[in-house]
Structures are given as structure tokens and as C-alpha cells.
Structure 1
């Protein structure tokens, strides 16, 4: 419970709009605080430098008058600058009107510390009856005299104080305005995402066209909506394929089941005149058909699930082709190994590919089937050729679909369920290869390409 109440978890539970607005406001607050601090600092330094410059200029003027012996008492300065001229013994000899004639604005020790550089320094004006601080510049004149020039810093300090007060009041107000603007802007920015969420919520499993609204702006949200719609299109295609598979499977299962049921009902209805061995053979044939269908569907299901070979080990395709071709006899199947080839994969799955291709070739061949192994670059090429009627070019890609059988295959009693070539393509793809059909003139040629083993 304590972990759930932590600030981090509290922050994570907030909406994206709130977190973005809070983050933007925090960054703005930090930026405004730094900007205000820099403004006050730079403005203060600029005002101090300006005051020191004026005081220094007045001090240089008084020094020039003193060195020329033209200095009068009171000192002729009319811009509010306070001037004290000290003789060599530290006594005040000349002042401006209203200035103190008894106590120097800067003590002897302080005068020694500021005389070498002529920089200004702050002095409290209270002891001299002057409100606020003073900015004082001290210069040396001829015959041991010292010129002290001071300018009131009260007006400048009041201006800085007013500026600080305005920033203290204005910065939070500006931050609130910027935060509100960020809230509105982020809300408008996230509006397409809200539309996507509502569109996704309205999509049901029975909807024909399941698409999300795509915003007009060509931004990241547009790309997200487009990508999601592409994903929905792929899901629809997969769902349609799955429904077609279920429908075709149900159709394929219904025929042998109906045949088994009919044979058993006839046999049980007329037990005396029934040839039971013949009935058993018919039921066995339909049962084997069901078994082959179930095995093919399970094989496709495993291939769809893993999308890669169950085992990866070096497989000598020459040996595998020779062992597979022996099942059909030396007369019908002619094997040619142009170059040995080794691939990485599952020998059992690759053997099933060869069996399915050879079964189709033998089923449709007129007199002979040829199997050839060669290599092209980094690929092993297996070709299975028959001299049968072939397949029209328009149907050569369609026959790789599940439960697809051409009319010539459907009319034959030994035709399969239409899963053989589908298993071939999925198995070859799982091994990183490709398969296609081409015209053999006469007959048909199946070409399988597999990547050679790197070892």
C-alpha cells in the first residue's frame, strides 16, 4: 500500500494531458525564475555601473578644477551629486551645497582601499541625514587632496524593488496563463488520439469495416492511425482466412464422416446381406482420410505458431532426397544431384516437403518424375518435375492456399484435401526459403530455394 501511495505511482496514474501540462509548467516556471533572476541581476549591475560612471565623471571634473586652482566653495555641481574635497590632513575644505563639512563620507582606511582603482562602493547615507544608500567614488588630486563624490542610490534601488515586485506578481500570473494555454494546446493535440480511442471502442467483432479515423495533419498521430488501420486490415485478413479455414475444414470433415455414417447405417440396417469386410475397408479408407486431414491441419497449426523450424541442424539435401525417392522406386523417380548442398533446419520437416511435392508429382505424372538438386549463389535449389498436364499459370499461386484443389484433383478419388502445398510453402518459409511453380513443357516444375548452411 505504501508503494502505491508513492509520488512516482501517483504521477504515473495521472493522465497524459495532466503530466504534459505539469511538466511544461514546471519547465516554464524554472525558465521564468532564471530569466527573472538574470533580469534583476543584469539590470542592477547596469544601474550600478551607470551611477558609478556619472560619479566618476563628476569626480574627474572636480579633480581637474582642484589641480588648476579653480575650485570654488561650494563646489559647482547641480545634478544632486554630493562632493567633499579633503586636504592633505584629511580635513574637509570644499563641499557642495547641503553636504556635511565635518565628517567625510568615507573613512581614512576605507579611502585607502578604494583609491587605487577608483571603483565605487556603497555607503549608508543614514548617518549623514541622507535617505537610502549612497554610491561613492574616491579620487586623488594634487597636493595630497582627496575628492569624494557620492550619488544617492535610493531612486535606483526603488526602481529595482518595483521591478522585483512586478516580477513576483507577474511571473505567477504569466505562468498560470502559459499553463492554461498548454492545457488547451495539449488537449487539442491529443484530440485525434481521443478520436482513435473512441473509434477503437466502437469497433466490434462483427463489424464489417473496422477502421480508425485518420487525422488530416501529416504528423505522428496520422502515422499511428495509418499503422493501426494497416494492422486492422491484416487482422481482418487473418480472421477471414481463419473463417475460411474453419469452413473448408468443416466441409472436408463432413464428407468422410457422412460416408462413414452412411456405410454403418446400411450395414446395421441389413446385417444379413452385408459384406462386412467391404464395409470395414470403406470405413477404414474414410478414417485414413480423416487422419490425413487432421495431421495436415495440426502441421499447419504448429507452423503458424512457431514460424521457425523446431530444430536447426545441418541437413544434407542430397541424402534426404535420395532416401525420400527410394519410396517411389528407381523407375518412376529420377534423382540428379548436380552439387551437394547442406542447409540448417529440421530434417523431418524438409522431408515432409519432399514427400508432398513428390506425391503431387507422382499423382499427376504421365510416365516419369525428376528430382534435381543444385546450388545458385548462397542458395540450394530443389526442383521436382513431372510430365503431367500441368497447372494453368493463373492457378499456380492459388494452389498454395489451404484447402485449394483444382477441378482435376477434385475429380480423382486419390486427390488430397488441398493442404499439401500449403504445408510445403509454410515449411519452406519457416526455413527462410521460397517455393513456386513453373511450366515444364510438358508438365509442371516445383522450385524450392533454401539458404545454404554457413558452416
Structure 2
């Protein structure tokens, strides 16, 4: 007889500090060793971004570098399907009994992907070990990491990240060529068929009807090309100069366009400000609202709040929702979940891919979950203005 294992108890008993997070780095489980190491309570961490468990000072200049290194490690783990070992990272940790003082400690971290039933990564196990004493012993009485060692470490991380990025771009290029050629061939075939039919039977052609169909297919081609060019622009111009954008005002402006087609309910914190390219953020919001409107039964619910150094925007509808197996797939290019929906009505399947690309370009995340009253709830997280 197979013995029943209490996996929660096993996780709690692991002596190494461990936590479990979603692909957008939100903590969903943490063991006691991790709580002891960072001097935090469980309720302070669950539902928060993983960096909030380490850096108490959101203005810490090392915070952005730590986020970049962690994101690179998670991308490698997702791409390879194997645990990824990060180089030692420095993190300010509280000193027990020192009245709120903290000290720099070095941690060796392993990020292990956890796959769902559809083969997509649904969680990451983030396990750390304090290696400060080892590094100090290795280097004698010197600082745990000298300036030279720090520069070497940073250079190694940049090389690894560049190699991973180049490999990912090559994969995207191959997939793009296959997807785009297939997608563009459909309206082109329709155009050719209508023109050839008109050439064969010119006396039976209703010119007004023909021109209407041709204009519709040309509009579809233009929409596909525009979205593909936008995706290429986002990926190439990753360093585009950003400006302070009042996200609250922008959401109100974009939401007003859909007020006449459905019941849009807003619950927005005032003056939530982010660093962004405003035209890209407007495109992202328009894509989320348009997607929600097409799937809503009667209403949309939009929430905006500050959460742990991030702006968190949620756009929810009361439609049929998105099954857990499809929640990552819908952000891929040219994906349509509803096979019964016509191509004209459903669009080319690029809207959510564009939205996630824009979120990533702004060092943010975009995912989908269940709405409170049914339907889908798309959640966008962007760093607040520092």
C-alpha cells in the first residue's frame, strides 16, 4: 500500500529557506526557514512580489539589478525545463535583536520550474542558502565579495543573459516566420479567389459587394501587419525613453471608449503613476478592454491599486473565463481559444500577445485568473515611479 505523504509538512520541514512563487514572481507558499532568515511573518509575504521578501528599502539601487538577475534565471529555468543556479546575490537582511538594523548577506539560489498538466510552467520553487561565511572564509579576512569579484560576477550574468536572449530571439524568429506566413496566407487566398471569380464571370459580379469583401480582407491584412510591426518595435526599442504616466487618468480615458457598448465599472486609486511609453500603455489597455468586451455577458469591472511597489490593474469580465490549461497559451501569437468564432470577429489572435510584450518591455507582468463573479480577470503589474 502506498503511504500517504503530507507534502505541506515536508515543505515546512525543509531546513533550507524555500518559497514557491507563480511565474509573475508572486509568493504563494513559504517555509519556516525562509521566514526565520528574512525576519518576516508569513502574512507579510504571501501574495507579495518575491523581492519584497528581501529588500525592505524600495529605493535600494541593488533592487533593480536583483530583479533583472532573478528574471533572467526564471527565463532560463522556463526555457530549459531544468533548475537554474544563480550566482551569489547580496540581500539586506535584518539583524536579530538589533532594533531594525540590517546587514548585507550573500545567498546562493536555485530556481526550479514546476509544470502543469499541459506542460507549461505554473510555479517556481525558489530555494536559497546563506553562503556569506563560506565566501568570507574563501577570501580570508577581506570583504565577502571584492569590487573586482562583483564586476566579474556582473559580467558573467550579462553574458549569460545575452546568450539566453539571443537564443530566445532566434526561436521567436523561426516561430514568427511559420505563424506569419500561415496567418497572412488566409486573407490573401480569399482576395485571390474573389478576384479570379470576378475575372472568370465578369457579367455576374456585383461590384459593390465585391469591393466590400475586398476592403474587409485588406483591413484584416493591415491589422495583422500593424500588430506584427508593433511587436517588432517593442522588442527592438526596449530602451525607448520613458515618461511619468498617470495610469489612473489613462485608464479612465481608455475605459470611456467602451462605456457605450457595455457596463464598465471602475474602482481606481487616484494618481497611480508609472514610468512608461504612454502610446504603448494605451495600446495595452485598449487590447485588454477590447478582449474583455468581446467575452463579457453584461459588464466589465476595472480595479487599480498600489501593491508592494507596483501598480496593479485588473480588468475582469463576466463571460465564460479561461481554463487553467489555456492561461499561458492565450498570450502566444495567433492563438484563438474559441474555434467557433469567425476570424473577422475574433481578430488575428495578436492582441494579448502584444499586451504581454508591452508589459514585459516595461518590466511588468500580465496574467489571467478567475474573476470573482465568473469570467476572466486579467492582472497587469507595473513598477511604480520610484
Could you tell me the TM-score, scaled by structure 2's length? 0.55
Query: Does residue 444 of structure 1 match 2:380?
Result: no
Q: Deviations over 1:101-123 (max 9, x none)?
A: xxxxxxxxxxxxxxxxxxxxxxx
Cα RMSD (Å): 2.6
For structure 1, the residue ranges without an aligned partner over 5 or more in a row are 1-226
TM superposition outliers: structure 1 runs of 4+ over 3 Å: 227-238, 407-413
Pair 387,295 (structure 1): closer, same or farther in 2 beyond 3 Å: same
Aligned twin of 2:334: 403
Aligned mates of 1:376, 1:408 — CA distance in 2: 37
Aligned mates of 1:343, 1:229 — CA distance in 2: 29
Q: After TM superposition, list the pairs within 5 Å mapping 1:123-138 onto structure 2.
A: none
Query: Does residue 305 of structure 1 match 2:232?
Result: no
Pair 395,314 (structure 1): closer, same or farther in 2 beyond 3 Å: same
Pair 408,360 (structure 1): closer, same or farther in 2 beyond 3 Å: farther
Aligned twin of 1:317: 247
| Kept after mapping to 1: 8 A contact 2:249/2:271 | no
Aligned mates of 1:228, 1:336 — CA distance in 2: 44
Q: 2:282 aligns with which of 351, 354, 357?
A: 351
Aligned twin of 2:53: none
Aligned twin of 2:81: none
| Kept after mapping to 1: 8 A contact 2:235/2:361 | no
Q: Which has the higher contact order (CA 8 A, sep 6+)?
A: 2
Q: After TM superposition, list the pairs within 5 Å mapping 1:367-446 onto structure 2.
A: 367-408=298-339, 411=342, 413-440=344-371, 441-446=373-378
Max Rg structure: 1
Aligned mates of 2:344, 2:170 — CA distance in 1: 32
Q: CA deviation at 1:268?
A: 2.5
| Kept after mapping to 2: 8 A contact 1:340/1:374 | no
Pair 278,311 (structure 1): closer, same or farther in 2 beyond 3 Å: farther
Aligned mates of 1:325, 1:233 — CA distance in 2: 38
Q: CA deviation at 1:228?
A: 8.9
| Kept after mapping to 2: 8 A contact 1:396/1:437 | yes
| Kept after mapping to 2: 8 A contact 1:437/1:444 | yes
Aligned mates of 2:162, 2:275 — CA distance in 1: 32
Q: CA deviation at 1:236?
A: 4.8
Q: CA deviation at 1:317?
A: 1.2
Q: CA deviation at 1:385?
A: 0.5
SS in 1 for 2:244: strand
Aligned mates of 1:229, 1:429 — CA distance in 2: 19
| Number of equivalenced pairs | 230
Aligned mates of 2:189, 2:285 — CA distance in 1: 32
Q: Which has the higher strand share?
A: 2
Aligned twin of 1:174: none
